[in-house]
Chain A
């Protein structure tokens, strides 16, 4: 039995189905991310877990008990709000102690726990400050400490890092992961930032129009997206539409109008339709000045696409290229800048061969 089981949960606002027959299991101690574009229902789902919305249908089982209709203040679940929702009239200490006092904890224990929480989020010395005397990053920590203070069975985090700048966000991501590991608590985070989800979460649930479209580890989500929509939503990808022309021992031949005939390894489960898209991530496309010899891709079939470098974007760690094929289609390729001096770099206008192996491609139904 998982710690949290969401069973056929649905919620509508008027005619709008925010969450549609959604089921999901979350194990104890997991760091789970709900990822999706805005309006996909991820926040509504989180609010149902917190108790701010009641589902129209379905059950939410926490440790085996249905909490779908339980009021927020009676749930062993706490939430960290996107805008932090700190009480402006209370000090840092009183904000953190708020939930402990409601739980009827003894005064002495409250003081101990607050001190523990303050130390946990490194806010020592700021206990007496009011929220408006804190920086954005400090407020974020107070919000985190306040939601952790009651030691909830599940901590819900609604876009907890959205208000922080990039550097602070990255360091806070690391701290959140470290905290979650140390406390062994179950975290469910809602985010629209796929990099954030992939960095922190052990598993990611991707949502679109109120449904879960894929639940997978970051790696599987990126390397084996379940649909064309997910492939495009998570990371960059080249897509070529075509028709299955041949099938041989798990190897498909796909005839595309833009990139000619491509050889693709088929994943499980096999595609059932003939009209498909061949997908290849930019970093798996290699560039060379001449066609690679047959042996270069190992024993695999190699797809070769001849074209001209249309533009070069140097991004520091990687350089991304756009290669224009004779058909007019564009292939994006990105290569790590592994050497500081690269006299051999490709220039715009150069003729190149973009190539990739059959195993690096995906075939997705359109």
Chain B
């Protein structure tokens, strides 16, 4: 009984800590954004109205509440710009995730089949790029891709092209940047599932008449699907909201939703519309997040 008293309180506090973190750093800021998304834009400081001020009494607060409206969300639906931005974000995220899978799976598969001591080395090689700032790496790509950059110099020297090719500010450059940046996030979960795979299952498949190719498609691949799902969502979710890479490497024809957000916030100074766009983006990402959570749970269950 006394032992319970000693340990119960700190233990309970420790259990609350993550929720406290979530409330302080996610729910409260999200409440601010949600509130701003329901406000109207004004040229003032802050650039929206109404402003809740508890010192002005209950009547004033009630009046402020009455001013809140869904106008900004209606605008999101009615204006092509936003819908196109969302669509482009989805298309870019889906395309990138597919490319990442096609490149990441063979790499992870190869890593998992390396001798044990080489696996650690391969793992290091995947992680090493993180030691350099992400922005610096994207700027390095700008250097490589620009008009007189390394890529064009090599292509010219090898007589593959006769004049410098325009790489920068194209979708190809953007996809290159995204795939390059997110590859580790695809490889690591895939590698985790593939390296745990029981080698005797492949032997059993071979023993029962499956060629190595059949054994891969009938045993290895289905068993690696949790890793495929985890890797795909781990890449898809942040790519939807990606801002830096499309801003630095892509052309300016169509914007991704992250860029539109930036534009509304900093160029148009329209905080309410930007907030509404952010809330809508979050809602769009809830289903894949739930899916990711499910996969993680199933994996945990399968492991135990």
Contacts and interface: CB of A to CB of B under 8 A. Distances in A.
B209 interface: yes
A73 B203 contact: no
Given A72-B203, A88-B223, A89-B222, A83 B198 contact: yes
B79 interface: no
B180 to A, nearest CB: 33
Interface stretch (A95-103, A162-170, A249-257): A95-103
Contacts of B208: 73, 78, 98-99, 102, 146-147, 150
B216 to A, nearest CB: 13
Interface residues of A, number: 24
B289 interface: no
Contacts of B200: 81, 83, 85
A102 B214 contact: yes
A50 interface: yes
A73 B206 contact: yes
A73 B223 contact: no
B219 interface: yes
Contacts of A132: 302
Contacts of A85: 198, 200-201, 203-204
B35 to A, nearest CB: 47
A99 B209 CA distance: 6
A233 B180 CA distance: 61
A340 to B, nearest CB: 49
B210 A73 contact: yes
Contacts of B209: 73, 99, 102-103, 150
Contacts of B206: 51-52, 71-73
B210 A87 contact: no
Which 10 A-B pairs give the minimum distances between C-beta atoms? Answer: A102-B209, A99-B208, A85-B204, A72-B206, A85-B200, A73-B206, A73-B209, A79-B207, A89-B222, A98-B208
19 contacts: A51-B207, A52-B203, A71-B206, A72-B207, A73-B206, A73-B209, A78-B207, A79-B203, A79-B204, A81-B204, A86-B204, A87-B201, A88-B223, A88-B302, A98-B208, A98-B210, A99-B208, A132-B302, A147-B208
